[in-house]
A and B are shown apart, each in its own frame.
Chain A
């Protein structure tokens, strides 16, 4: 059982103003043991990526500290954030085990999803099986496929790492006006940490940056509140979602 080195009082991660310093951002992003590998994978993104990640970290950290409520933290400068290009891949969470093993949860929006792994993940959350070939086609035809991978770097094996799919969400779009988010799922073993929230939030930001202004989805009644907390409104102005001869 891993212990997480997360012990951050709410004052430690304030929302930083626009012109923060790079050095400061290191400390605020991840708890303790800053992995040099983190800098490697993020160094090309420059400061801006870290600014974005801080808010993700803040919301995840809040989610960890508060057991139930996942809190949305309003960024100091929304406009600035939307102007910064969202990196296609970055480390969302990092945990260090006393024996030296490092676990990272990596977000990617490049569509790097193994369809067999996805099938297994869908099984884990209890969704009915869908034909593999259709799953693969659906992914190919999706405008954006976001994924969460758990990467475990073992201490004694240099360069050897395990990578496991633990979350996915995808969006279809006409590339201009509308996008619809489908199939949001997180491995039950990793739920409750704010990962789903982070994934969807990042998707939204990417879509908005690509100037796709109408972001929609259909939510089961149980998760309407989850999406409301992310900024989605049910039935705006009385507009209703409708389905053709739905089978329940």
Chain B
């Protein structure tokens, strides 16, 4: 049923964050450490973002196409490093706005990994999607970062559902 974006019952999900502080790191904490949370693409330098993507291993993509993708993205969040004014963490989600959402392009600049920025971005992105009423939140995770997504509440292959990707090269013939 999940592949159809349906939850089996319609009760509102309980927010799994501790009630004292909504997030692992608060907005205030982030700011005091020199990071600003951003939720729009204004002031986002796409060349800088592209460099972060490439540095973590994504293929280099045409900035114009990245712009097009971001303009058709439901929700996005990025962290700006105050001093350099560069994006150092990013995540975005696409979907139909009511049932399903997929999170893409989750990155943290290598120099800023391990201090909770990825988690900060993910927690807020998920909350934004939940606030819109979207309960089916999915993503595709490389094997080496499954351990990053699990503590955030993600489960792989629930109920035997498999993520599949179209491959032009292979076609199974019977």
Contact = CB atoms under 8 A, between A and B. Distances in A.
A127 B158 CA distance: 18
B39 to A, nearest CB: 17
Interface in B138-174: 138-143, 146, 149, 152-168, 170-174
Contact of B165 (A221, A224, A232): A232
Nearest to B166: A215
Contacts of A247: 7-9, 135
Interface residues of A, number: 58
A170 to B, nearest CB: 8
B8 A137 contact: no
Nearest to A170: B96
B40 interface: no
A235 B3 CA distance: 15
Nearest to A228: B172
A27 interface: no
Contacts of B162: 218-219, 221, 224, 234-235, 241
B94 interface: yes
B30 interface: no
B72 A216 contact: no
Given A244-B154, A245-B16, A246-B158, A231 B100 contact: no
Given A71-B173, A244-B138, A248-B8, A216 B168 contact: no
A120 interface: no
Main secondary structure on chain A at its contact with chain B? mixed
A138 B98 contact: yes
Given A71-B173, A74-B173, A246 B159 contact: yes
A183 B138 CA distance: 15
Residue among B7, B94, B96 with most chain A CB within 10 A: B96
B98 to A, nearest CB: 5
B8 A172 contact: no
Contacts of B68: 174-176
A174 B94 contact: yes
Contacts of A216: 102, 140, 163-166
Contacts of A237: 142-143
Contacts of A227: 164
A231 B173 CA distance: 9
B171 A231 contact: yes
Contact of A176 (B72, B99, B140): B72
Contacts of A238: 142-143
A15 B42 CA distance: 51
A186 B16 CA distance: 37
Residue among A72, A127, A218, A235 with most chain B CB within 10 A: A218
Interface in A95-143: 127-128, 130, 134, 137-138, 141-143
6 contacts: A69-B174, A176-B72, A216-B140, A229-B172, A242-B138, A243-B2
Given A243-B137, A244-B137, 11 more contacts: A174-B73, A178-B69, A180-B102, A182-B4, A218-B2, A218-B164, A220-B160, A220-B161, A241-B138, A243-B154, A244-B152
Interface of B: 1-9, 13, 16, 61, 65-66, 68-73, 94-100, 102, 104, 126, 135-143, 146, 149, 152-168, 170-174
Interface of A: 69-72, 74, 127-128, 130, 134, 137-138, 141-143, 170, 172-178, 180, 182-183, 204, 208, 214-221, 224, 227-248
